[in-house]
Amino acid sequence: MARYFTEDHEWIDVDGDTATVGITDYAQGQLGDIVFVELPDAGAKVAKGKDAAVVESVKAASDVYAPITGEVTEGNPALEDDPALVNSDPEDGGWFFKLTIADTGELDGLMDEAAYKSFCDGL
């Protein structure tokens, strides 16, 4: 499974034509304590770089952008009962949604882990 990152601090795990999307540890650290997450519905179409979900913390509300274009297959039901899972396990159990990839070519513009770490170090 390949993992990619965006400059907006989303991560995406790609497994065949399916992808899992969440926010990075860096992003959850900037947001603070997560109190609410609004996820896209199954069947929703999301476009690369456009709003796909909303995360609210004690500090602010923030949009989560789709790293690539696709159709949402499911949201993470665990986040409805425990939005703080995004803080405690942001890059695994705190994932936001899964989607079917529309165009794998869109992955070419994303960063790998080393490039993302370098990007964050420069912030």
Instruction: Say yes or no to pLDDT of 1 above 90.
Output: no
3-state secondary structure of 59: coil
Q: Which domain holds residue 7?
A: 2-121
> Could you tell me the CATH number of the domain that includes residue 73?
2.40.50.100
88 pLDDT tier (thresholds 50, 70, 90) = very high
Mean pLDDT on 32-44: 97
* pLDDT averaged over every residue in the chain: 97
pLDDT computed for residue 122 by the predictor: 95
Residue 1 and residue 46 in contact, taking contact as beta carbons nearer than 8 Å: no
Q: Is 106 helix (H, G, I), strand (E, B) or coil?
A: helix
CB-CB neighbours of 100 under 10 Å: 12
Q: Specify the 3-state DSSP secondary structure of 105.
A: helix
Q: Is the pLDDT of residue 13 over 90?
A: yes
pLDDT digits (tens, 9 = 90+) for 46-64: 999 999 999 999 998 999 9
What would the two tokens of residue 100 be?
Answer: 């079917």
pTM for this predicted structure: 0.96
Task: Give the chain's radius of gyration (CA, Å).
Answer: 13
Total number of domains in the chain? 1
Residue 29: the pLDDT is 95
